[in-house]
Amino acid sequence: MKNTLKIIKIGGNIIDDGEALSAFLKDFATIKSPKILVHGGGKLATGLARELQVEVNMVDGRRVTDQETLDIIIMVYAGKINKNIVAQLQANWCDCVGFTGADGNTIVSTRRPVQEVDYGFVGNVKQVHTKTLELLLANNVTPIFCAVTHDGNGQLLNTNADTIAAELAIAFTSFYAVELYYCSEKNGVLKNVDDDDSVIEHINTQSYKNLLETGVITNGMLPKLDNCLHALNKNVQTVCIGKTSMLFNKKSKHTTVVI
């Protein structure tokens, strides 16, 4: 029987709230099973971009990334946010190492092809190399990933954090029973975005299509659910969306995605 690996992605709404982030990291440090944390940080990057008068351009929940925007993302994601998380976890006796995809050559991406939209320096994950990560996990060291990968030729690429979490989860299915959790400030996927109690507790392929057709799912939730279904189709055992409380309380309201 395979050991369980939990891969947990947290978004900007948690990161932007210092108290919420500290409380989550304190709880995260208590998880005994092997674990990997993936974080975004879009709000902080957006805020800095506006301060520097760099235009912010989003299409279907994904950030268009020119060179100026990429520089901001690297500073915020790989620098400020990642190292703050690492420091706080060390303070909670959770030994960890911060990663971009370039570190240890862990995640290699290709620049997204120009089709209807030129996303600029945005990466599509091509390959995940688990060797370094396996060694760390075997020695109770937790990898902390930000949303930056590389192309193997010296170029860093902004890469959707939900995608990174899904691709890491898929890469480890040969070694672990992988559970993938997408955590945000909401209880899960909502029928009504203004009603946090309107949680859709189960979503499968067919109901996802229905939710798309009726316009219930839009914007940033689109790539998230695409990643959920992709992970499940590649043998990830469990995929859930909700507040961080779902990690520690099974009765906590959340959305479970199934094939």
Q: Which helix (H) or strand (E) holds 6?
A: strand 4-10
Q: Cα(166)–Cα(171) distance, rounded to whole angstroms? A: 9
pLDDT at 56: 85
Residues 6+ apart with CB under 8 A from 180: 7, 9, 165, 166, 169, 228, 231, 236, 238, 239, 240
- Extended beta strands in 156-229, E state: 156-158, 177-183, 202-203
pLDDT at 139: 97
Residues (pLDDT < 70) of the chain are 42, 60-61
Tell me: the pLDDT tens digits for 125-179?
999 999 999 999 999 999 999 999 999 999 999 999 999 999 999 999 999 999 9
pLDDT at 174: 95
Q: Which residues pair with 3 in a beta bridge?
A: none
Cβ burial, residue 140 (10 Å; 0-12/13-18/19+)? exposed
User: Contact, 223 vs 61, CB < 8 A?
Assistant: yes
User: Contact, 181 vs 173, CB < 8 A?
Assistant: no
Angle at the Cα of 107 from the Cα atoms of 106 and 108, rounded to 5 degrees: 125
User: Contact, 65 vs 121, CB < 8 A?
Assistant: yes
User: Contact, 129 vs 66, CB < 8 A?
Assistant: no
Q: What is the mean pLDDT of the chain?
A: 93
Write the CATH number for 235. Answer: 3.40.1160.10
Residues 6+ apart with CB under 8 A from 127: 107, 108
Taking alpha carbons only, the member of 99, 229, 240, 91 closest to residue 156 is 99
Q: Cα(9)–Cα(36) distance, rounded to whole angstroms? A: 9
pTM of the model: 0.95
Range of the structural domain that residue 167 is part of: 4-257
pLDDT at 29: 98
Domain count of the fold of the chain: 1
Q: Which helix (H) or strand (E) holds 9?
A: strand 4-10
pLDDT at 46: 86
Q: What percent of the chain has pLDDT over 70?
A: 99
pLDDT at 61: 63
